[in-house]
Amino acid sequence: MTWESEWETTKDGATKLTTWDWLEEYTSDPKALHFIWKGTENGADKDSLEMWQIGDTIYMVSVSDDGTSECTSFSSSDPDSGLQKGIFTPSMLGSLSGAKYAGRENVNGIATKHYKYDEEVTGLAGFGKVSGEAWVAEDGGYVVKDVVNWEGGPGLFGAGATAGESGKGTWAWELKDPNASFTITPPEGCESASKGLPILPDATDKTTMADMTIYTTATKLADVMAFYQKEMRAAGWQQSGEPQGMEGFASVEFTKDKQKASITIATEGEGSQVMINVTKEE
């Protein structure tokens, strides 16, 4: 789906134009989500954010004011920590009651009923003069397309006017390419360096952020250390020096292909917490 919105704010004879563009893609099998958000102010890029979720891993690319981009990835076994689809939907504007039926139309391959409305039949009366059109799927009753125009207050949806301010804007929301065949793939160069390293089979509460992975296990500290000394060597990593430790805490380092993996183990309850951090060697 796409959501495009722009609005003008005028105060003391000066006008500022702000835009928000949102693109969201979703696949159910395999389950994946991708969205892009871009904002401008008077034609200049202001904000930009792109995120993906594939399985339990989230990837995020943000662009700073100087144009440089930064990529972060993290994962979690907590199902409530993931991205949610449908952040922007026509339901944000409230319900319609008494909209005028304008006939049947096919929109993006979907048979729809077309309606027209104004501020009198919506909850948008406080936003000034409003006109809109909505296309609702005949089968399923979901919104396929929604276009809104307002004039009155400044800002998004025309809310929040102060003395001397006025504004106008548009909102266009549209569901596109239903049931299209495509694959959502992660951005290049955004994979965590710690991904693919050995993890104990009973790992829980696993979280990966950037090049660090943290998880808990019911395995005792000494057995965790023995696991990593065996499995890291089997994966081609060379142990660097002897393990360091004290009561309830231990660490060990490995190197491979100009990378260093630092593994820290701490006693937690009857088990352990494990932290793996991978860095590039100078």
List the domain boundaries for the chain: 2-174, 204-280
Largest CA distance in the chain: 77
pTM to 2 decimal places:
0.71
Spell out the CATH class of 204-280. alpha beta
Token pair 């395995």 in the structure block, residue: 219
Residue 163: is its pLDDT beyond 70? no
**pLDDT, tens digit, for every residue of 185-207?**
888 767 677 777 999 999 988 87
Distance in angstroms (rounded) separating the CA atoms of residues 7 and 111 = 31
Distance in angstroms (rounded) separating the CA atoms of residues 229 and 239 = 7
Distance in angstroms (rounded) separating the CA atoms of residues 161 and 168 = 11
Higher-pLDDT residue of 126, 238 = 238
* Joined tokens for residue 88: 């922007």
What's the pLDDT at 162?
61
What's the pLDDT at 157?
57
Residue pair 41/214 in contact (Cβ under 8 Å)? The answer is no
Distance in angstroms (rounded) separating the CA atoms of residues 74 and 52 = 11
What's the pLDDT at 87?
84
Higher-pLDDT residue of 131, 71 = 131
Q: How far is CA 95 from CA 34, 92, 133, 152, in A?
A: 28, 9, 13, 21
User: Which residue type occupies 155?
Assistant: G
H or E element: which one contains 229? helix 221-234
